[in-house]
Structure 1
Amino acid sequence: MSKPFSIAIHGGAGTILREKMTQELQDEFLHQLEKSLRAGHKVLAQGGSAVDAVVSAVTVMEDSPLFNAGKGAVMTSKEMVEMDASIMDGQDHNVGAIAGVQHIKNPIHLARQVMQDSEHVFLIGEGAEAFAFDNGYAFTEQDYFFTERRYEQLLRMKQAQGFALSESEYPDDDKHGTVGAVALDQQGNLAAATSTGGVTNKQYGRVGDSPIIGAGTYAENGNVAVSCTGMGEFFIRKMVAGDVAARMRYLQEDIATACDTIIQGELKRIGGEGGLVAMDAQGQAHFSMNSSGMYRGAIDTVGNLTVKIYSDE
């Protein structure tokens, strides 16, 4: 008899407007979320590791132009993409992270490679890409990442002279795009993975919370796995993922209390908008957000699949 296993994902949190969401686009988002969940769940059902499951789930979202990661990554002020990712194995606290890569199709794969096949835990920019190419990764041209939507978004952002939109042609252009997954495998191991293109019009090699262990990603067997999404500067300041784990470990808070106390309380008080997905040692998933929406979904320990977009669902 197999032990319980489950997976949960997010595709970014922030302002997601119903009035600008067409039925066709909503259906495509929900389809991609389900596709991601099923990819990760298949790994778990076959006895695979939580690490492999979260990588499989995140890869699906990186390959979709709908999400701000991989193919759908937003553009920097120089009309390029610079992507970040991280992964953590709750079994041995092993981690891998990369930041500022421009020519890697699936950044989450490279983060796992850093974790498994390097003596380091965090590589950036040209060094991260040199490690990738030394390990057989294909050089992916920037053209692969170019989408008209992201280019138009960048131009509007430059016109607004910032990196937040109050008016948008899309239902989620004011969403803090990140994708992530958490999972519990049949061996009782937890894992978390996060991947992002950052924020539109970013400059100076800006890096947010997604690749930072303890801020955007954390996993610890017997406790919790967490992947965050939001304005990274605030998540770094509050070390959100690590704080969730600490509250559960030291205060013995349940997963919902730990997550909501931070997202709805301390983070919100300093102006931080966003959310997270977390999973406890029993495979219970919890989504917490202080924004109008978060693309998200889960397949629970009995196989029930749910996918949602708005905060009131």
Structure 2
Amino acid sequence: MKKPFAIAIHGGAGSILRARMTDEMQRHIEQALDQAVSQGHQILAQGGSAVDAVVCAVSILEDSPYFNAGKGSVLTAKEMVEMDAAVMNGEQRQAGAVAGVRHIKNPVQLAKDVMQQSGHVMLFGEGAEEFAAQLGYDYTEQDYFFTDRRYEQLLAVKAERATALSESDYPDDHQFGTVGAVALDNNGNLAAATSTGGMMNKQYGRVGDSPIIGAGTYAENHHVAVSATGMGEVFIRCGVASDIAARMRYLKEDVHTACTAVIQGDLKKLGGHGGVIAIDSSGEIHFGMNCSGMYRSSIDIHGRKQIRIDAYEV
């Protein structure tokens, strides 16, 4: 009997302003979501692992300038990118993460190698890039990541001396930029991956929830895989991803109930806006958010594909 497999991805959540999204921009975003979820699903359909599927999907989103990860990363106060990523394999709860990397085209791929080849869980900054060099990764100049759109956003933020804009010129000015994927393969293994450029105008080597296992990324066979996107500091304080898994493990809640309880509960009370994507051991997919939108897509166990942006779209 053929076992179920499925995949879900996200490209960030927040106050996504449709009124400021051109038809061309929406088309590029939806095309990238379609390509990412389709290629990840193809790996699963060919008997590939959930880990390979989520890394493939996230890499495609990292290559797009329309998401806050990889090529499209926001700029720090020093006008450069500092990227974070994590991968987790639910089979034995293996995990790998990198933080504060500046010259790696696809941080999620390096996070996978940290998990599989380093003997560690997280590597930071120069150490992570030294490890990458030993594995033969190309050194990617900062110019690759620079886009006019991100530079204009940074200048506007600096003018307001803030890390978020009160007046929006782009549809994602209030978006909590992260990309992620979760998957179930036909061996019953779950996996999650998350990647981000972090917070616009960030300082002091700030690291958010994306590379922190149990906060922005988590996978545990027989229960759930989760990738989060939102206000990183609050997601860390609430241990969002691991809290969802714990509710399923100990309270026997289904994936929808557990995600809703966390996203609409203490996280929201503490001012943590954003969302999660999650998939359980039977392939049931959940998109949860307490904000107006999330770039998202999935292909379920029946092969049905969906691509959505607004929160009300089901």
TM-score by length of 1: 0.99
Distance 1:264 1:20 in 2: 27
Q: CA RMSD in A?
A: 0.6
In the alignment of these two chains, the number of paired residues is 313
CA shift for structure 1 position 23: 2.0
- Aligned letter for 1:217? T
- Aligned letter for 2:253? E
- Aligned letter for 1:233? E
Aligned partner of 1:277 in structure 2 is 277
Encode CA deviations 1:188-244: one digit per residue, 9 max, x unaligned: 000000000001000000000000000000000000000000010000000000000
Q: Indicate the SS of the match to 2:265.
A: helix
Aligned partner of 2:304 in structure 1 is 304
Encode CA deviations 1:90-129: one digit per residue, 9 max, x unaligned: 0010000000000000000000000000111100000000
CA shift for structure 1 position 67: 0.3
- Aligned letter for 1:85? A
Distance 1:10 1:58 in 2: 9
Q: How does 1:187-198 map to 2 (within 5 A)?
A: 187-198=187-198
Aligned partner of 1:261 in structure 2 is 261
**Which runs of structure 1 show a deviation greater than 3 angstroms over 4 or more consecutive aligned residues?**
none
Uncovered stretches (5+) of structure 2, i.e. residues with no partner: none
CA shift for structure 1 position 81: 0.2
Aligned partner of 1:63 in structure 2 is 63
Q: Indicate the SS of the match to 1:26.
A: helix
**Residue 42 (1) aligns with residue 32 (2):** no
Q: Indicate the SS of the match to 2:86.
A: strand
**Residue 220 (1) aligns with residue 216 (2):** no
Q: How does 1:8-27 map to 2 (within 5 A)?
A: 8-27=8-27
Distance 1:119 1:22 in 2: 45
Q: Indicate the SS of the match to 1:172.
A: coil
Encode CA deviations 1:122-165: one digit per residue, 9 max, x unaligned: 00000000000011000000000000000001000000111111
Aligned partner of 2:286 in structure 1 is 286
- Aligned letter for 1:209? D
Encode CA deviations 1:44-73: one digit per residue, 9 max, x unaligned: 000000000000000000000000000000
Distance 1:166 1:8 in 2: 31
Distance 1:253 1:119 in 2: 33
Encode CA deviations 1:242-297: one digit per residue, 9 max, x unaligned: 00000000000111110011111110000001000000000111000011100001
Aligned partner of 2:241 in structure 1 is 241
- Aligned letter for 2:174? D
Q: Indicate the SS of the match to 2:205.
A: coil
Encode CA deviations 1:169-196: one digit per residue, 9 max, x unaligned: 1111110000000000010000000000
**Residue 252 (1) aligns with residue 252 (2):** yes
- Aligned letter for 1:299? I
**Residue 209 (1) aligns with residue 209 (2):** yes
- Aligned letter for 2:310? Y
Uncovered stretches (5+) of structure 1, i.e. residues with no partner: none
Q: Indicate the SS of the match to 1:308.
A: strand
Distance 1:218 1:238 in 2: 14
